[in-house]
Structure 1
């Protein structure tokens, strides 16, 4: 072989070794990139799972807070209804007392003027008794409407606060 032939072979061997080193570097780089991508994907999946778990916990907290608000509103409504029943009973007793008073006002007797005054007093007492009954009914309705609106407003506020306030 001549000097040129050896040089060409040596040059080909050098180029082949460089080519082999280059290909090895590329395969190592691809393997490292694949490993980094797998780690990143694993981290992303873990973050997603943790995020979902956090969201589920927040949803559970909100549902529990909403249920607590609902139960509290139910208790307040029961107390308001009991108070209304007590007020109705007291109003009925007052109306009965006014009716009894109206029945006892009349003054039967021989004097026609006294009898006329007794009838007028009885009619006045009956009118007052009726006005008292109507007033009690109106006050009961207004109080019930106020109680319902107040309880609903407080429940709404509690539900809103449970949604926007972070736990803690």
Structure 2
């Protein structure tokens, strides 16, 4: 072989070795980049799983707090309804006593003036008894409406506080 052929072969061998070194470097760099990307992706998946787990736990805690607020409101409704029933019973007794009083106000007798006064007193007592009955009934309705509104407001507030914590 001539010196030109040996030189060409040496140059070709040098170029081939540089090419192989270059390709090896690219392969190593790609492998390192793949490892870094895999670590990043794994970290991202872990963060996503932990985020979902925390969000579920927070959602369950909020749902539990809202359910507790609903249960508390239900209990308060039962207490208020029982109190209203007791107040209704007491009011009914009061109305009955008023009606009895109105019925007994009349004065039996022979004096016409006394009988007229007795009839006027009876009518007045009946009017006052009726007025008492209406006022008591309305007061019961208002108290019941107030209790319901207060309980609903407190339940709403508790539910809101559970959501904003």
TM range (shorter): over 0.9
Give the aligned partner of residue 146 of structure 1. 146
2:79 corresponds to which residue?
79
Quote the Cα distance in structure 1 between the aligned partners of 2:105 and 2:57: 71
Matches within 5 A, 1:83-122: 83-122=83-122
Aligned to 1:27: 27
Unaligned runs of 5+ in 2: none
TM-score (norm: length of structure 2): 0.96
Deviation, 1:25, is 0.5
Distance 1:22 1:77 in 2: 81
* Alpha-carbon distance, 1:32 to partner: 1.2
1:164 alignment partner in structure 2: 164
Greater CA drift, 110-119 or 7-16: 7-16
- Deviation for aligned residue 1:42: 1.4
Deviations 1:84-137 (Å, cap 9, x if unpaired)?
111111111111111111111111011111111111111110100000000011
Q: CA RMSD in A?
A: 1.0
Partner of residue 70, structure 2: 70
Query: Where does residue 49 of structure 2 map in the other structure?
Result: 49
Structure-1-length-normalised TM-score: 0.94
Q: Show the counterpart of 1:60.
A: 60
**Which sections of structure 1, spanning at least 5 residues, go unmatched?**
none
**Alpha-carbon separation, structure 2, partners of 1:110 and 1:20:** 140
Q: Distance in 2 between matches of 1:108 and 1:49?
A: 91
